[in-house]
Amino acid sequence: MNKIETLRYLDQHQINYEKIDHPAVFNMADLANLHLPHPEADAKNLFIRDDQKKHYYLLTVKGNKKVNLQQFRQKFGTRRLTFASPEDLKKFLQVTPGSVTPLSLLNNAIVEIPLYLDAYFLKQPLIGMHPNDNTATIWLNSGDLINLIKAHGNPVHLVDFA
């Protein structure tokens, strides 16, 4: 789904959201330069894979947090992890670098990619993300996002990313 299709999908599922269009952003520094509302809801997304390209994971964390892939690996018993390639992004999530979002999982027809969501967002009523395109940001209720991803069939794990 592209941006328009993603927003239409949210509307069809009666998911309320706030949207702002903006120039393309590719990282958290670019996003900070925009001075968007709800900075407490900023999220960054890491699409990672194991060293054999057999298992892929989407990690969504508070925007200012760093993720230690070694600690993640130990906690969840995975093989060695690295970032997925732009080709993997296109193949599995149908997005380009800078546009990865939990909503990209809706493009994953065989629903094998789990979402590891920062538990911070359970305390925070909103979560900000791109609608599968990095020229807009939307904010929606964290619980609605979790329910939407689970209803699609992708596993959702809540993780305390310290």
pLDDT band at 26 (very low <50, low <70, confident <90, very high): confident
SS3 21: strand
Torsion angle of C-alpha atoms 69, 154, 30, 90, degrees rounded to 10: 90
The encoded tokens of residue 102 equal 């939990």
To the nearest whole number, what is the mean pLDDT of the chain? 93
Average of per-residue pLDDT across 20-42: 87
Look at residue 135 in the predicted model and tell me its pLDDT: 94
Q: Find the domain containing 57 and state its range.
A: 3-159
- The CATH code of the domain that includes 143 is 3.90.960.10
Q: What is the domain count for the chain?
A: 1
Distance CA(40)–CA(104), nearest Å, equals 22
Distance CA(105)–CA(128), nearest Å, equals 16
Please indicate, yes or no, whether the overall pTM of this predicted structure exceeds 0.85.
Answer: yes
Residues 139/31, Cβ–Cβ less than 8 Å = no
Q: Per-residue DSSP letters for 103-142?
A: GGGGG-TT--PPEEEETHHHHSSEEEE-SSSTTEEEEEEH
